Amino acid sequence: ATDVTLSYDVYFPSSFSWVKGGKLPGAYGHSTHCSGGRDSNHCISTRFMWRANGAGELYLYFPKGDQPNFDTWAKHQQAEIVTNDNYGVSIRSSRFVFTHNKWINLKQQIHLNSVHSSGHGNADGWIKVFVNHESAPIMTIQDAVLRKYDDVKIDGIFFSTFFGGHDDSWASAHDTYTLYKNFQISVGHH
């Protein structure tokens, strides 16, 4: 699908230590290999992350070298965009914070951009992030090239949760858990 809504609730117990951060579920397109520093020119993943002190973010793998409007939407959203040559792109907002002992609803609406020829996407894709059923998004990524090829479509939920990062400095000092409920994925924007 090219237009998808994904929503779920997540719970972090009081014993949960944020450490440096970790991955949460999100959507993926074309391949679940859009992670771990692999090339993202022929796939997409839109996972959420927690960071130190419960800071939340959208963590993207997509054709990051093809983005004409990073600075524009970062400034407009008062968001911080952190790019990394080897890994995904972090999009952070001070309005996006996780807390302990409370169910938190996360929702992302994705509209994949059009493609004018194989390997060349148009900058007309967007992603909206909503938290706790708010009517207005806390973050909107717009005028984005989320794919370069027409066969890259949203295929499902990329469900993995782990601390990291790429080394032991991200690990929790003790066993812990997160809880999930109310997963919904649908075609269109709801």
* Look-up of token digits 């699908």: 1
* Look-up of token digits 């999930």: 180
What is the domain partition of the chain in residue ranges? 3-187
pLDDT tens column, 107-140 = 999 999 999 988 899 999 999 999 999 999 999 8
Spell 117-141 as b/e; 16+ CB within 10 A means b.
eeeebebebbbbbbbeeeeebbbbb
Query: Quick check: 64 pLDDT over 80?
Result: no
* Residue 72: predicted pLDDT: 66
38 or 114, higher pLDDT: 114
76 or 116, higher pLDDT: 116
* Residue 177: predicted pLDDT: 97
Cis peptide before 26 (omega within 30 of 0): no
Report the predicted TM-score, pTM, of the whole model to 2 decimal places.
0.92
* Residue in 13, 179, 8 with CA at minimum distance from that of residue 105: 8
Average pLDDT over residues 164-187: 94
Question: What is the fold of 3-187?
Answer: Jelly Rolls (2.60.120)
* Residue 178: predicted pLDDT: 98
Average pLDDT over residues 20-39: 86
Distance CA 145, CA 64 (A): 8
Q: Is 168 helix (H, G, I), strand (E, B) or coil?
A: helix
Query: Quick check: 75 pLDDT over 70?
Result: no
Distance CA 122, CA 143 (A): 8
* Residue 65: predicted pLDDT: 72
Q: What is the mean pLDDT of the chain?
A: 90
DSSP, res 32:
T
